[in-house]
A and B are shown apart, each in its own frame.
Chain A
């Protein structure tokens, strides 16, 4: 405040810093998980020797990649949020983003006894988005859903990456046979992270940092994470503007 006048830019900056700190807190909490996995897997190898080496190496690899992806996505979210005024969305092929997402989720899914499927027609329209940001958001959403399915089911989970049209817009997301998340509950969780150990405890035992990182990235693209249903499955999705430019090509 200067002379009784509220400086909105200071207030907005302060809010942004607080949100960023909350997200950092939840990322730090989430990072403990892969690091504990690595530490205990290494200890196991020391204790029981060669017989477990192959499994341990695979575990260490998966856990280390999970930690690295989380850090990368967090940093990407910060970077995109910092560029928000000038973030340029461009026409991208949504199908190709989903192919890359499925590829990146595949190994992770195997660890959790799940499989990833693509579920869309080849002739999908393109959308206006930040390609790297959308990919990172979908990967993070996918990982949380895969982990949650592994925690709640004993059977092999099938995760679908899907696209459908809705009111002239394009909805893309990650779906499974999970219980649908209540939209109000998701909104509340997006305000709770950093203050609650398990903001989405109905979904996962973890801090579900991936969801909040995805939300942060999507917000930088001026779109929002939402709950959605697709082909009788429930999941998390984002609604995007179609690109007429690419459609003409």
Chain B
């Protein structure tokens, strides 16, 4: 249905996200860090990005600045799925809004179903959940 780029350094979680999103008929690419994500985005032209803000080397915010600096990626929906707590996220709400974040999910409290919902409803052509 859609090409998705998942930026998730945790190997186990990345595999879980890939499994559930693939079951929903999406095509998924996994990146573990910001540099790998930029390279993959260039090759795969994702229709949505799922991003953990806590990354090794360059963090998620740095990735977003870089990602948004290219005109072809300016409107790609980005969904944050992160260990960064809601309070900390709220502190930078204006910035996140400016960077085009479509949804924020706090990892300890959000389910896979919520992730699928967020992805499907934020695609430029929204789709229905399969699972």
Which residues on B sit within 8 Å (CB–CB) of A103? Answer: none
Determine whether the beta carbon of B9 is less than 8 Å from that of A205. yes
In angstroms, how far is the closest chain A Cβ from the Cβ of B127? Answer: 17
Report B1-34 residues with CB < 8 Å from chain A CB: 9-13, 15-16, 19-20, 23, 32-33
Determine whether the beta carbon of A36 is less than 8 Å from that of B107. yes
Report B60-107 residues with CB < 8 Å from chain A CB: 83-84, 107
Determine whether the beta carbon of B12 is less than 8 Å from that of A41. yes
Which residues on A sit within 8 Å (CB–CB) of B16? Answer: 37, 40-41, 44, 59
Determine whether the beta carbon of A148 is less than 8 Å from that of B56. yes
Which residues on B sit within 8 Å (CB–CB) of A1? Answer: none
Interface size class on chain A is: 20 to 34
Determine whether the beta carbon of A44 is less than 8 Å from that of B19. yes
Q: How many pairs of residues, A versus B, come closer than 8 Å at their CB atoms?
A: 83
Determine whether the beta carbon of A63 is less than 8 Å from that of B131. no
Residue A62 CB within 8 A of the other chain: yes
In angstroms, how far is the closest chain A Cβ from the Cβ of B68? Answer: 21
Is the contact region of chain A dominated by helix, strand, or loop, or is it mixed?
helix
In angstroms, how far is the closest chain B Cβ from the Cβ of A50? Answer: 14
Which residues on A sit within 8 Å (CB–CB) of B112? Answer: 40, 43-44, 47
Residue B59 CB within 8 A of the other chain: yes
CA distance A32 to B5 in the complex (A): 24
Determine whether the beta carbon of A202 is less than 8 Å from that of B56. yes
CA distance A48 to B16 in the complex (A): 11
Given contacts A40-B112, A44-B112, contact A205 B56 (CB under 8 A): yes
Which residues on B sit within 8 Å (CB–CB) of A43? Answer: 111-113
Residue of A nearest to B58 (CB): A201
Residue B52 CB within 8 A of the other chain: yes
In angstroms, how far is the closest chain B Cβ from the Cβ of A175? Answer: 18
Partner of B131, one of A39, A48, A205: A48
- B-side residues, CB < 8 A to A, are 9-13, 15-16, 19-20, 23, 32-33, 36, 52, 54-57, 59, 83-84, 107-108, 111-113, 131
